[in-house]
Structure 1
Amino acid sequence: MASGYVNIRRDVDDKFYRYRMPVLTTKIEGKGNGIKTVVPNMADVARALSRPATYTTKFFGCELGAQTSFDEKNERYIVNGAHDADRLRELLDAFIDKFVLCRSCKNPETDLIIIKQGRNEDIIRDCKACGERTGIDMRHKLVPYILKNPPVKVKKGKKKDVAGADAAVGGGEANGGSGEEQNDGNESDDYLTKKIKAEAAELNDKPTLADEDWSADTSPEAVKARIKALEGSMAAAVLGGDDDGSDDDVNSPYTILGKWIDEEREEVDDPKAFSIAIFKKAEELGIAKKHKTVTVIAQALFSEDMVTEVTQYGALLQKMVTSEKHQKALLGGIERHVGLVHPDLIPAIPKVLMELYQIDVLDEEVITQWGTHVSKKYVDKDTSKKVRKASEPFLKWLEEADDDEEDDE
């Protein structure tokens, strides 16, 4: 059975591509006329696409001319007949192209919206990246099902308009039994309101200069670059809050740096010399001071021997991680590296955090906030929970160390 993650756009051969989904898996059950294909992780795949799992299942049925059935409560999705996993993955690519990707910028960050015009109804893809609204082929056999079973509308109360609130929501599992209200992701408005207000209160008590210092570059040169990017249909990257483009763009400086590190590290004999070369390359690309650069380095530089490599490249990290935002970006890159590329490294997270803490790359407050607040910024929510769950032994050690210091006083 296949496992792991792939780019949502499988035509994008870039391991730094932000949008990823689990590899679709299948299981054949039954015999004869009762044979059927079960998709065990259909719900996880659909969540990564922000579409109901019933849509993808029905799409398979429409394309294969097969009956489908599903039990949403138990997340069991079935297509009648025996179907090869590779064939279903190809059909999933077709579904993504027809019902997920923005026709304008090809970004998967879209919502399906049904618009009524008199007696007619149209389904459009509303892109949260570039702002474009593009239609779908209303002749497809799946369309009647979508119109009868429209996407669930998100209530306004669920919108997270306070910095960091998205990380606070859903963080109950990673809080290590702290007594906070638990949440399974189906948040009520009251629950969200409480969490957002609580987070806002904490933020108001903390300095915000770190974030302001690293806001988007507003120099004339940067503005011209943004305009050029918009004209080249790169609005998704600029409007998405990036500094200098996006790591989703194969021509962005971040992707260039990541691929360069990935190619060059195979020949590395001297980590110190390679560290200097990486920094000079980042300077050459104009992104040496950008926090996203640290995310890319964490993904491209480290291998399965990450614990040892953190020490070897400690000087590079100390030089490049210069703010709280950089620290969070580094943790995000580590999340992607261990969560999506090397899931076998998740149990080693406490050791990685310890090494980074001991060489003063990560602060205690940043680690604690990250470890107790699940976020979907860098990986999917489930992966985020797994990584933070694995960090609990180190978080406990930090807490006990603080208690010891207070007792000494």
Structure 2
Amino acid sequence: MDRARKKVLSIAEALSPQAIRMLRDITSYAELPLAETRTSGTLSDFLQSKGFRVRRGVAGMETAFRAEYVFGRGKPAVAFLCEMDALPSLGHACGHNIVGVASACAAAALAESGRGVFRSGKVIALGTPAEETGYGKARMVEEGIFRGIDAAMMVHPSSRRHVAKGYLALHKLRFTYHGRASHAAAYPEHGINALDGVLLLFNAVSALRQQLPDTVRVHGIITEGGQAPNIIPERAKAYFYVRGEEEGEMRDAVERVKACAAGAATASRCRLTVEEGPYTLSPMRVNPVLAASYRRALSALKLRESGAPTDRNRGSSDIGNVSQVVPTLQPNVPIASGERVQIHTRPFAEATTRPSGIEGMMEGIRALALTGYDLFSDPTLVKEAWRLFRTGG
């Protein structure tokens, strides 16, 4: 490893006490989507203290922010994405406490190491709210926040270390069946059972799954099913996610699920209303140039990927929307010392602040900073990343 990259790592290591303190603070906040006030303040104040110019409340979201550190004419522009929100009752069981701190500290390390070295470049840290509701980054893409950015990246905690994990496209559907209430024992013939509509919908979707490709997933819950056993429900609700590896197959499945819903309404004599959105999550496009650069960073850190590299993932995230407009990467960092901990569980939330979780966060800071340094020091990498992005590579 050359002297310049050793300097990047030295600066990253020096940030460790601040990183750990921010991680613990943000973990204690455990703020829900679009309410990440203290988390956003902690990260943006830290970046401001490192010389970044900070703009808060971007894209019409109070907790979103954009922090910039500019060298010369400001190209290339590399963005580190700071997720911030927690889960109801589970806290940071998706590890966004690690995500936000790792991105902010990687940006700070890259900015400091570039002083007097980079003639041109822009280090950006974006505070991206509400990942759990699929909202923040999708809104920021729609509002043009990613225009002029040459590469975007972040790490996400996991049980294993992977570089190029993809995500499924996702569309959300809420169905409300409207019936007519009646006494279930005395006058059942006068009622129209809205819950029957929901149950028929679930049965229809279960039958539909037999004809769906393996790359499509449909799952739902009943969010309202009536008020008392002796009252025929006049209203019942269901909430569905429809996912697919390709956006086209996902949209086809959405139409088929909506047809199931309409058929269930007809069969149960209910009136149906459908609510969609507000955003469709796009599938993840992993940029091979950014992935190769991150793997070089892992090699420099004497780290290896866990098992065979794979781009398969059954989850969804709004970073997929970012990957449709700019070369993007989201590797996984391990936080559980070889144990398998499942995301969105209490053991996962607990792992984020244990020594293994802190080391995973520091790995992310080091590797992201080295990857950013690669992009600034070799302009051909950004050009090749965009060439492959435009050609679908």
TM-score by length of 1: 0.22
Higher share of residues assigned strand: 2
- Provide TM-score, normalisation by structure 2: 0.23
Q: Please identify which structure carries the higher helix content.
A: 1
Higher relative contact order, chain-length normalized (CA < 8 Å, sep 6+): 2
